[in-house]
Amino acid sequence: MYIKAPELYSEKKKSKALALFLFCALCGLISLSGTDEEPVLSYGIASKLIVVDPGHGGFDPGAWRGNLLEKNITLQISKKLQAYLSGGGAVVVLLRENDEDLAPKPFKGSVRERKRADLAARVQAANKSGADIYISIHANADVSPRWSGAQTFYNGKSEASKILAEAIQDELTRVLGNTKRKAKTGNYYIIDKTEMPAVIAEVGFISNPAEARLLTDSAYQDRVAYAIFSGIIKSQSKEIPEKEAWARVKELSK
Ligand SMILES: [Zn+2]
């Protein structure tokens, strides 16, 4: 966990700024409003264990258009999300760091069986880790090129997943400014079987040429990752009474 303060601050000013920041963070007063901001300590996610699952990989490219593969976009955005979350003080488990699937190797069986084993391994890894939150990153595709927009999905039986999905959707809408989609329930194995609040974030449609171009742009990927990060924080922020917040600030600045 760390807080980046401007270098020109004196130590005294720094600790005052730190105390003020912590107070605001504890009270949930800090609102993150852009991708230019430094990673910040967030009381909401500090020390939380968060599984980030880049969809597809290896033999399974996910959706594709030409040489644009979903598995590459999901990995790039997941790594950016991992960086934001770690910067915010969370412990992050990234389920894959390379172009690979998670099925046992060597795998004997059909492609369909391998896909099933891959998904089962992701769920098992998340459940075994005892994570507080599970985020699966995907990109969408449709036969028609007209559809666009990032959208989150959650298991309708989980209220905590709903809160998380709606908070992330709100931030995707606010930060990206190009989707009016709403968080939606969905019957997907991966959010059905994971035992913690879980969300699938479909970051956009690679079947829409304009959005496909955005999704391969590193700066846009950054904004997507930031929006998801910010949504997670907002879903976790709890109102703390002022007195208690100051007591914690005192404790932390000792
Ligand atoms: Zn996918």
Domain borders along the chain are 15-43+239-254, 47-236
Mean pLDDT over residues 12-41, rounded?
A: 46
Pick from 42, 2, 19, 13: nearest CA to 235: 42
What pLDDT is stored for residue 101 in this prediction?
98
Cα(1) to ligand 1 centroid in Å equals 32
220 phi, psi to nearest 5 deg = -70, -40
Cα(136) to ligand 1 centroid in Å equals 9
Cα(55) to ligand 1 centroid in Å equals 6
Q: Is the pLDDT of residue 9 over 60?
A: no
What pLDDT is stored for residue 214 in this prediction?
98
Cα(54) to ligand 1 centroid in Å equals 9
Q: What is the pLDDT of residues 29-44, one digit of tens each?
A: 444 444 454 444 567 8
- pTM, whole model, 2 decimals? 0.80
Cα(62) to ligand 1 centroid in Å equals 5
In contact, 19 and 249? CB cutoff 8 Å: yes
pLDDT band at 237 (very low <50, low <70, confident <90, very high): confident
47-236, what's its fold? Aminopeptidase (3.40.630)
Q: Is the pLDDT of residue 240 over 90?
A: no
| Residue, of 153 and 40, whose pLDDT is higher | 153
Mean pLDDT over residues 109-138, rounded?
A: 98
In contact, 227 and 176? CB cutoff 8 Å: yes
For residue 240 the two structure tokens come to: 């703390």
Q: Is the pLDDT of residue 116 over 70?
A: yes
User: What are the Cα distances from residue 238, in Å, to 25, 44, 130?
Assistant: 10, 7, 21
What pLDDT is stored for residue 251 in this prediction?
74
What pLDDT is stored for residue 33 in this prediction?
42
Q: Which helix (H) or strand (E) holds 140?
A: strand 133-140
Residue-averaged pLDDT of the chain: 86
| Residue, of 9 and 160, whose pLDDT is higher | 160
What pLDDT is stored for residue 194 in this prediction?
98
Q: What is the pLDDT of residues 44-100, one digit of tens each?
A: 898 899 999 999 999 999 999 999 999 999 999 999 999 999 999 999 999 999 999
Cα(70) to ligand 1 centroid in Å equals 7
Q: Residue 251, exposed/middle/buried by CB under 10 A (0-12, 13-18, 19+)?
A: exposed
Cα(174) to ligand 1 centroid in Å equals 23
Cα(36) to ligand 1 centroid in Å equals 28
Beta carbons within 10 angstroms of residue 130's beta carbon: 10
Cα(92) to ligand 1 centroid in Å equals 21
Cα(148) to ligand 1 centroid in Å equals 15
Mean pLDDT over residues 215-225, rounded?
A: 98
Cα(252) to ligand 1 centroid in Å equals 42
Q: How far is Cα 188 from Cα 152, in angstroms, rounded to an integer?
A: 12
Mean pLDDT over residues 191-208, rounded?
A: 98
Q: What is the pLDDT of residues 164-191, one digit of tens each?
A: 999 999 999 999 999 999 999 999 999 9
55 phi, psi to nearest 5 deg = -60, 145
- Which are the contacts of 210, defined by CB distance < 8 A and separation ≥ 6? 148
Cα(65) to ligand 1 centroid in Å equals 13
18-27, 120-129, 235-244: least confident range: 18-27
Cα(46) to ligand 1 centroid in Å equals 29
Cα(68) to ligand 1 centroid in Å equals 13
